[in-house]
Amino acid sequence: MSFGKAKKQNNKIHIGSRAFDVFLIAFMIIVSIIFLYPFLNVIATSLSSNRMITTGQVTFFPKEFHLDGYKALFKDENILGAYWNTIVIAVGTMIVSLVLNSLMAYVMMAPEFVLRKPLSIILLITMFFSGGTVPTYLLIQNLGLYDSWWSLILPNAVSAYNIFIYRSFYQGISPEIREAARIDGASEFQILTKIYVPLSKALYATFGLFSVVGVWNSYYEALLYIKDPAKQPIQMLLRKIVFTSGTANMSDAQQMISNGNLNSLNVQYACVIATIGPILLVYPFIQKYFAQGVQVGAVKG
Amino acid sequence: MKRETTKRLTAMGMSVAMAAGLFTTMGTTAVWAEDSAPKATAADNGIELPELEDGTLHLEVSIADYQQSSDGTLVQEKWQEAMENYLGCKLDITWTRTPATDYQANELVVLQSGSVPDIATVTKGSAVNEYGEDGTLLNLADYSDYMVYYPEYMKETNGGENFAKNEDGSMYYFMDGFYNPDDIQGAQSFTAFAYRFDLLKENGWQPAATLDEFTQLCSDMQAKIDDGSLDLDYVIINNTKDYSLYRGFVGIFHTWDCLYYNGEEWVFGPIEDNFRECLKYLNSLYEAGYIDPEFATADFNQGQTKATTNVGGICPTLWSGSVASWNAAKTDDNMEWGLAYLPENTEYGTAWKWGSRQAAKSLNANMGIYISAETEHPEYAVAMIDYQYSDEMVNLMNWGVEGETYTEADGTKTFVDDILNDATPATKSAEYGLTSSSVCRTGIPFNPIDFNAMLEVASNPEPWWNAEKGYYEGKYWVESDANGGEDSVSPYDRAPVTYLTAEESSAKAELGYGGTCETRVKELALQFITGENDINDDDAWEDYIDDIKSQTDEDFDEIIETLNEKTVK
Amino acid sequence: MAKRSNTTSIPYAAKKKTFWQLLWKQKALCIMALAPLIMLIIFKYVPMYGILIAFKNYKASKGVWGSNWLEPVLKNFIKFFKNVNSGQIIWNTLKIGVLNLLFTFPAAIIFAILLNELRGKVFKSAVQTISYIPHFLSVVVICSMLNGFGSTTGLFNDVRDFLGMARVDMNNGSQYFLPLYLGSQVWQTVGWSSIMYLSALSNVDVTLYDVANIDGANRWQKIKNIIWPTIKPTTTILLIMNLGNVLNSDYTKILLMQNDTNRSQLEVIGTFVYQKGIVEGKFSYATAVNLFISVIGFALVFGANMITRKINPENSLW
């Protein structure tokens, strides 16, 4: 192969690659618009007048702009407290579940561990079979967790699904590192905390985000277990606000009493924004952990 | 601690401006007009309540909250005072308030867990009886010595005491009361067709009083749509896909779209010949091209858009209040939606309406209040709930305080201007804690609503039409009573008492609204309306009946037989 | 003494150790597993007795233990299979579940790879963030929009109109259900599910890129030889586990997309359980049908894992 030919080929790849880049960018822009449109419509609707919503004229931009939906939202003095509660619950859940799942995943990663298979099956069973609401409710009461945030944090802290994925991540880390550490006299626990955890930043960022979002969106458990309004998470409060705005159901007579300029969607969609907004702000902070090559050399090829 | 939470809640529940107003009224009981204020005491009623140790009744009460909490409102404060006065002790209630929609999801779990609060709201009706039988709930029949007012409601109800009690005489919850002083037997919804009044007036038409007139009107409208002189796409549109178009028509053919009591026995409406007639009629309208083809697929939001953007001229199946909300959202100034009572089919007479109110005092089995069997002072709890059914308490909770929220002249009560002149009287009256607002429930729900009070604040006038008065304004409940009259009260709304076991009730649910059979009917009936299946073909009709009957887990005919056997006539 | 020297010199002699001896040796691992295991037992296994109501004539008041056994014990299961619609329901569930997996699962992987190929940090991060938004919109909001888009005057029909096709009511019948359902599923899950793969991609050995560049490998070759092997373990694990969810279609979404023109064609086990359990209050029947799905899901995962173990033991669940 002559020098010139090789160069030519390289150029060809280069051009093909550039064309691909252009295509990719165009594709991603279109996809982003598709992802974004319903969200923009939700924002626009939350800010538009009853008339414009009812007659179906709202698309990308608010029409006959007003803020009544958001006023209804922030009229509730509890909203900041509820946000705070959710943050505490979310962070608590995140920490507890990351710790417990890591421990279990590490143990199950160890190829020599004798209980590996039985533990896997014990885990797998919990993915498919559950006792239902009432036995869990009774359990929470008997454990004295009722009306406490622990009732939201503990029951789902250990997740079989997550453990299996953690484990597959750990398996991506070269076993020689573990062997070497053991020869150096490190305990299993030290190997996990000093080697595996630092090498799995992306994993922890991902599952940290997942568990925070899971808590962020959930209300059903809080509805069952949290009695004290001062302890309620944000979703519970938002549901209440949507309900209080007076348009949530039509089951009772004359429920469709028109509320002047306020359309039920104003409040409902304002609540959607109140849910999504903070999470979108969090994301960029997590993103940096997805950078490639953080663990160069530590990972098997 | 509990006290503190309650107090803090009270503070949070009120806006600052309102709170200022409230505290002044609370301080000056002089405003409290002597004649209307509740002043009965249990002792005067001959009830002997046991002595309380510290003179205070401590209770945990879990209630369904409506759109506005009663916490901290004027009427709620008065309720507490009146209750303390009646029971002769201090009341220390720890409230748990859950929005009504969420309450329903929660209710059965709490009951199944067996640890229930002292007193709680019931929204699942007779489903709670099961928990009474096993001893979780108090058998109220054992404490009838402590009741004075509730028995009165039981007596006046259709079916009498049998209605409120179980077959063995037990009674595990107080049923939701309703007080209809003027005997307005109005209905909730699906009792009037909506028309574009502006178009009717413009073209010299009027809403249909009979079904033939209705057919004619559709045909006239279609002619004008076809020649381009009427700016509509279709004659008929539907409100939402969640309600089948036929729902507005079944009453005209004196049948029903699910299980119902026809005056003699329980029958499943959709397999009756009358129902077939109804479908034939709808099929003829569809074949003629009058009906918007999206009538079964457009959801509620789209239905609204269709109504307000000149898609259709008549909407036969709709919730009350829809017309008012369409008129509020119209973009075309001339547009005016209005209502007229269901047209009469001369073969059957006045059309039946759905969900009409009973005259005088009545009870509703779907909702109520239960008391825990474990409560420390059941005598007090029973006397307390019973007192909510007294005229003076009903007056307090619905009309409020004389001079403060209402005035009375010549025996007629009216709310004060502050409420009536508000943009939304319902919301305003809820700020005072009035139950009649329908958006707030004072005391322990569900307690009796005074229909007159409710009509004043919670029902918006909408445009109406009838043959005598022509075009006018009226309220749905009142007009559906006046225009339908006694004949329009369907036998279903006055069904006799039927005692069922839990299994029988769940078998019955298969035939009721939302049940397996009814959902199947919706799908198959649609095929008859659109002509996909021939309604005039007897074999097709037989197959349809077989299909419906095959849907149940138990034998279809047996379910209906059992119902009829267990009905107390 | 001799024995001990044996074990140290020949590691595989460990096989001769009894199970308990091994366990004692691995006590550190056992202790680490203890806390999560206890949590599992308390919060997952203790309430599991609730499943019994599938076999019982459940009286809430009597509780799970107190209620009588059904006669025959499998009555609820027999009832389900005797139901006139069960054949159709099972078929619908399978069809929707399998198609859903076929579309949403690869979509997330492809999207992750494409995102990874994207140059420009800011643009990339913007696209990523935007792609998660649908995950946060509730199914009610999405279905209400879908219903509007599919109506004759809706967005989808505007597109059809633009392309010279006739306007149709896409909400009518089941003809357009699958495209609408699957399309919106992909739309809703692709961004969020791709996070997992992006996270796996951070494990990629960047030195391999240098080697590939020197070899003059093109984009496709790099994807095939570097990126795919990196995410393959995660993909396998996720695929095995998602197989178990094939019968758990998103029933709220289907409920919302149902109308009188298509209801029976769209009936799936999830909607059936909702109808029986929530609408008609037949708890034990609903539990039985749920149990049936769980058993099948469990069997599917078990089977998939056995196959994986034969092909690629490293990526199996055990």
Q: What is the pLDDT of residues C98-146, one digit of tens each?
A: 999 999 999 999 999 999 888 888 888 889 889 988 988 888 889 989 9
* Residue B267 pLDDT exceeds 60: yes
pLDDT at B374: 92
Most confident by average pLDDT, A245-254, B33-42, B517-526: B517-526
Using the CB atoms, write b or e for B325-363: b if 16+ within 10 Å: bbbbbbeeeebbbbbbbbbbbeebebbbbbebbbbebbb
C51/A114 Cβ within 8 A: no
* DSSP code of residue B309: T
Q: Using an 8 Å CB-CB cutoff, list chain B residues near A77.
A: 12
pLDDT at A4: 45
Nearest CA among B357, B435, B339 for reference residue B184: B357
pLDDT at A68: 82
Instruction: Please state, for a pLDDT cut of 70, what percent of chain C lies above it.
Output: 95
pLDDT band at residue C275 using 50, 70 and 90 as cut-offs = confident
3-state secondary structure of B235: strand
C32/A189 Cβ within 8 A: yes
pLDDT at A264: 78
B301/A254 Cβ within 8 A: no
Tokens standing for C269?
């086990």
pLDDT at C2: 38
What is the pTM (predicted TM-score) of this model? 0.86
Instruction: Please state, for a pLDDT cut of 70, what percent of chain B lies above it.
Output: 93
Q: Using an 8 Å CB-CB cutoff, list chain A residues near B309.
A: 55-56
Tokens standing for C259?
């109308």
pLDDT tens-digit map of C68-90: 898 888 989 998 988 888 999 99
Alpha carbon distance A107, A101 (integer Å): 10
pLDDT at A260: 56
Contacts with C, B 267-326, CB within 8 Å = 293-294, 296-299, 301-302
Q: C62 — contact with chain B (CB < 8 Å)?
A: yes
3-state secondary structure of A31: helix
Contact assessment for residue B175 and residue B364, using Cβ atoms and an 8 Å cutoff: yes
Q: B532 — contact with chain C (CB < 8 Å)?
A: no
Contact assessment for residue C149 and residue C155, using Cβ atoms and an 8 Å cutoff: yes
pLDDT at A10: 54
Contact assessment for residue B489 and residue B353, using Cβ atoms and an 8 Å cutoff: yes
Alpha carbon distance B3, B195 (integer Å): 55
Average the pLDDT over A138-152 and give the result: 90
For CA atoms B275, B281, B282, B284, give the dihedral sign: positive
Residue A262: strand pairing partners: A259
pLDDT band at residue A261 using 50, 70 and 90 as cut-offs = low
How many other C-beta atoms can be found within 10 angstroms of the C-beta atom of residue C72? Answer: 10
Instruction: Please state, for a pLDDT cut of 70, what percent of chain A lies above it.
Output: 86
Contact residues for A119 (Cβ-Cβ < 8 A; gap 6+): A104, A107, A108, C33, C37
pLDDT band at residue A12 using 50, 70 and 90 as cut-offs = low
- Which of B126, B258, B294 best tests the C interface by mutation, with the highest count of C CBs <10 A? B294
pLDDT at C15: 54
* Residue B99 pLDDT exceeds 80: yes
Alpha carbon distance B2, B118 (integer Å): 15
* Residue B20 pLDDT exceeds 50: no
Using the CB atoms, write b or e for A30-44: b if 16+ within 10 Å: ebbeebbebbebbbb
Q: A170 — contact with chain C (CB < 8 Å)?
A: no
Q: B227 — contact with chain C (CB < 8 Å)?
A: no
**Residue B30 to chain C, least CA–CA distance (Å):** 50
Q: Which of A125, A187, A203 shows the shortest C-beta gap to C28?
A: A187
What ipTM was predicted for this assembly? 0.84
* Residue B171 pLDDT exceeds 90: yes
Alpha carbon distance C203, B232 (integer Å): 62
Q: Using an 8 Å CB-CB cutoff, list chain A residues near C33.
A: 103-104, 107-108, 115, 119
* DSSP code of residue B218: H
Contacts with C, A 85-144, CB within 8 Å = 100-101, 103-104, 106-108, 110, 112-117, 119-132, 134-136, 138-139, 143
pLDDT band at residue B35 using 50, 70 and 90 as cut-offs = low
Return the HEC string of chain C.
CHHHHHHHHCHHHHHHCCHHHHHHHCHHHHHHHHHHHHHHHHHHHHHHHHHHHHHEECCHHHHHHHCEECCCCCHHHHHHHHCCCHHHHHHHHHHHHHHHHHHHHHHHHHHHHHHHHCCCHHHHHHHHHHHHHHHHCCHHHHHHHHHHHHCCCCHHHHHHHHCCCCCCCCCCCCCCHHHHHHHHHHHHHHHHHHHHHHHHHCCCCHHHHHHHHHHCCCHHHHHHHHHHHHHHHHHHHHHHHHHCCCCCCCHHHHHHHCCCCCHHHHCCHHHHHHHHHHHCCCHHHHHHHHHHHHHHHHHHHHHHHHHHHHHCHHHCCC
pLDDT at B384: 96
Using the CB atoms, write b or e for B40-64: b if 16+ within 10 Å: bebeebebebeebeeeebebbbbbb
A131/C51 Cβ within 8 A: yes
pLDDT band at residue B389 using 50, 70 and 90 as cut-offs = very high
pLDDT at A245: 67
Nearest CA in chain C to B305: C148
B477/A253 Cβ within 8 A: yes
Tokens standing for A3?
């020098």
Q: Using an 8 Å CB-CB cutoff, list chain B residues near A137.
A: 109, 112-113
Q: For residue B457, which amino acid is it?
A: V
pLDDT band at residue A76 using 50, 70 and 90 as cut-offs = confident
* Residue A179 pLDDT exceeds 50: yes
Question: What backbone phi and psi angles, to 5 degrees, belong to B468?
Answer: -80, -50
The more confidently predicted of residues A148 and B13 is A148
pLDDT at A243: 74
Helix (H) / strand (E) element for B271: namely none
A21/C23 Cβ within 8 A: no
Contacts with A, B 374-433, CB within 8 Å = 423-424, 426-427
pLDDT at C71: 86
pLDDT at A56: 85
Q: C312 — contact with chain B (CB < 8 Å)?
A: no
Using the CB atoms, write b or e for C304-315: b if 16+ within 10 Å: bbeebeeeeeeb
pLDDT tens-digit map of B453-486: 999 888 788 999 999 999 999 999 999 999 988 8
Q: B115 — contact with chain A (CB < 8 Å)?
A: yes
pLDDT tens-digit map of C15-71: 567 888 888 888 888 889 999 999 999 999 999 998 998 998 887 767 788 888 988
Q: Using an 8 Å CB-CB cutoff, list chain C residues near A35.
A: 130-131, 133-134, 187, 191
Alpha carbon distance B419, A128 (integer Å): 56
pLDDT at B399: 94
pLDDT at B249: 96
